[in-house]
Structure 1
């Protein structure tokens, strides 16, 4: 037995050292040098009958003081060897690493278990955290001395395994930190593994696997682990998912949420933003049917060049706060028209909201500004809000199931809702193209029909849209 244990720990030490060196070089190559707020860590977990025994090693610590946040249920906290320099900076009360030049420190602690592992078990926040500091990389060793079988899962990539008669060993590594550890009695076979995604399961359609990989590569988020089996009870952790094999659509949405949240700072009251951002960066619809439809509507409404520029703008927001209003502003600059599309779909959760552009120019009626009149641009056609504009022109509006009526000082109109005609002062006029449309349950007139039917001139400059009533112009000219 002692020989087996020595063999496994030798393997752990060798693999751990190699992985640590590899990841240290990899992160440094990306320009992420350690500073006072970062470090690297290696965690050894040993599963025994009475608990999890943990050795936690910190590397590249700065010389400043680091307060230690111990797992709530942990006991036997302290040094593995009291006279060792590996914990020389640990103060007497075990609450902090004090200031010092030694950049490698280690602690040990134990998470007691009330009962042996039989059913599945999620260990929440089982590892030490340093207040205000962030681990750049994590190497995790899990050694089971109880021969419980099953499988251990974290959000880190599994890069090594060794099974002996009475002991098993698993090695994980990755960028960042996952403060969750999960065990289940069913050992699900590995289906796919990369530095961004690990999938455990059988009978998984390759197209879903490829879709997940493409999305994660586009977003560039943290590694995610997925465990799929027909008998699974769903579990959604910080960086891993346990789900039934048939619920792959839920898995894709959740992976998108995890990845986006690891790359952007989003608002809590905009729950669909993660699906929208994942769809934009991955260039494929993600999420519920309604969320997918909102993305598809966006992509169909702008040119390919505009869409690619918009995607680039979203990518440049990585690591920053991002809201629906930010997306609206970014798209408005590209299109040279205002839009509230993301606010209405993401913030208000009106997923059927049409893709509309608001002409940013000030509207003038007979020389006076009318701020309540917002011109909508849809499919390269300008539409004017009937009630807001015509009421300013002296018309009153009413309607029933058959017709829409406008009563003005000089003319009255009736537009049939059932047949293609309208009546002006008793004269009937047929049409082939409808002069008005309903947008968000409001009536709008096509710009060309507005000119023709209501006798107005429309002149546009870079700053304004000027509407003049011809009759009023003639009347004013007669006074001169």
Structure 2
């Protein structure tokens, strides 16, 4: 009997352990599968004692666990009891909102400002954000005591301000998130505005410039603030553009590039690459010499259908982290062949050529190789010469008089930039270059490979076979 009871107890513990493990695994999987969601937010800011005291209200939260991303400089995180249930979902360690049907939650925190507000100060990334969430609407209220004069800018549309007996109050509200806060002690009047852009300037701005800025086509509908005048060193906000450009075309370009950074996470992209993306999204030529040359190269290479597909693929990347590798992947999808165009240009001062790669397996005399590249360049099919010729039994070298390939019976020399080659001490004229240097790599053109080195090339769906047909080589 004792044996039966012990065995039964063991089974209960075993089954309980298995169920607990499955529950933990399920819970972890559920956390991983949390999808993207949207919410709205109200942010109340009071400046006092050299700090911003913030009450942050989140609306329309989904019923799922939500991690809270606190700003690095945030101090004294806490619950703010706006209503009875305002903190019901807040975890004890303030790291997340827990599962609940309660949609509205409120928190408070302090952003210390070392030495107090400066005459011109941009405070970046000072607000709480929610993991995997996007704020579709934000409202910001700013209150200071009567002694603090000046102008506040958030990037959101300016709603209004009021000076009371003891405090100054400003309000901003509009679509999208808010990340930064700018303060300027000197007057900074609004010179023009609409639902997409507000122009601030201490000096009058020409009416034609304001009109063109208000009428320009922007990349998205989220409002932004443009502050004209002396450009503070190193200052730039996510929805706040500081510009000293007096040319309307230069200013338009700055606005579009700023919006590019609003739409995409492109911190890992070099400036020229972001300019190329913005150029295609706006059907224009933006940025410096390198960006314009690359944009022109791609546009000349694309058909109208390919250009439309490329723009669609770029638009689908909105909100994602973009790097050169991802752009190459999308570009390869447009052309049907892989490329490393953006990656090759990241570390190069000059513009590298646009090459497409044939990704099929390459066999030489029935042996799979891993070191031979086949590229498409300027209408030609090129094979990486040195590894391929070595697989065919040749020694290769490069000297001042050209590219050399030899074995026991055959010797070739291909001079650079001359219309001939030398075979076994005899010169033969050509109308094209058999061996070409592209981006520092030597390639042999496909028809010359077949003619000079007596090989057959068979192309299948997943592989390419290169076989010697003259055994006397």
What TM-score do the two structures reach when normalised by structure 1? 0.70
Gaps of 5+ in 1: 1-34
CA contact (8 A) 1:252 1:286 kept: no
Correspondent of 2:83 among 81, 86, 108 = 86
Within 2, Cα distance between the matches of 1:211 and 1:356? 41
CA drift of 1:138 comes to 1.2
Gaps of 5+ in 2: 1-34
Within 2, Cα distance between the matches of 1:454 and 1:208? 67
The equivalent residue for 1:294 is 294
The equivalent residue for 2:9 is none
Map Cα deviations across residues 221-278 of structure 1 (whole Å, 9 max, x no partner).
Answer: 7543231203644412343233433699998787667645554455748776544433
Pairing of 1:390-469 with structure 2 (within 5 A):
390-417=389-416, 419-469=418-468
The equivalent residue for 2:328 is 328
Pair 459,100 (structure 1): closer, same or farther in 2 beyond 3 Å: closer
The alignment yields a C-alpha RMSD, in angstroms, of: 4.8
Within 1, Cα distance between the matches of 2:354 and 2:396? 27
CA drift of 1:357 comes to 0.9
Within 2, Cα distance between the matches of 1:131 and 1:309? 31
Q: Secondary structure at the match of 2:318?
A: coil
CA contact (8 A) 2:50 2:117 kept: no
Map Cα deviations across residues 86-111 of structure 1 (whole Å, 9 max, x no partner).
Answer: 36645899987999987666678887
Q: Secondary structure at the match of 1:235?
A: coil
The equivalent residue for 1:240 is 240
Map Cα deviations across residues 29-61 of structure 1 (whole Å, 9 max, x no partner).
Answer: xxxxxx996543333446679776766555445
Within 2, Cα distance between the matches of 1:61 and 1:364? 57
CA contact (8 A) 1:233 1:244 kept: no
Within 2, Cα distance between the matches of 1:94 and 1:280? 48
Within 1, Cα distance between the matches of 2:319 and 2:91? 36
CA drift of 1:133 comes to 6.5
Within 2, Cα distance between the matches of 1:291 and 1:212? 26
CA contact (8 A) 1:41 1:59 kept: yes
Within 1, Cα distance between the matches of 2:52 and 2:86? 25
CA contact (8 A) 2:192 2:210 kept: no
Pairing of 1:49-448 with structure 2 (within 5 A):
57-60=57-60, 86=83, 89-90=86-87, 119-123=119-123, 135-142=135-142, 146=146, 149-160=149-160, 170-191=170-191, 193-201=193-201, 202=205, 214=217, 216-217=218-219, 220=220, 222-230=222-230, 232-245=232-245, 259-260=259-260, 262-264=262-264, 268=268, 274-346=274-346, 348=347, 352-417=351-416, 419-448=418-447
Within 1, Cα distance between the matches of 2:417 and 2:124? 64
Within 2, Cα distance between the matches of 1:159 and 1:327? 39
Within 2, Cα distance between the matches of 1:342 and 1:372? 22
CA contact (8 A) 2:159 2:171 kept: yes
CA contact (8 A) 2:77 2:107 kept: no
Within 2, Cα distance between the matches of 1:404 and 1:113? 65
Within 1, Cα distance between the matches of 2:429 and 2:171? 77
Q: Secondary structure at the match of 2:381?
A: strand
Within 2, Cα distance between the matches of 1:394 and 1:102? 74
Q: Secondary structure at the match of 2:408?
A: coil
CA contact (8 A) 1:47 1:146 kept: no
Pair 266,212 (structure 1): closer, same or farther in 2 beyond 3 Å: farther
CA contact (8 A) 2:43 2:56 kept: yes
Pair 186,242 (structure 1): closer, same or farther in 2 beyond 3 Å: farther
Within 1, Cα distance between the matches of 2:211 and 2:444? 45
Map Cα deviations across residues 405-448 of structure 1 (whole Å, 9 max, x no partner).
Answer: 33233322233336432222233222343333211112222223
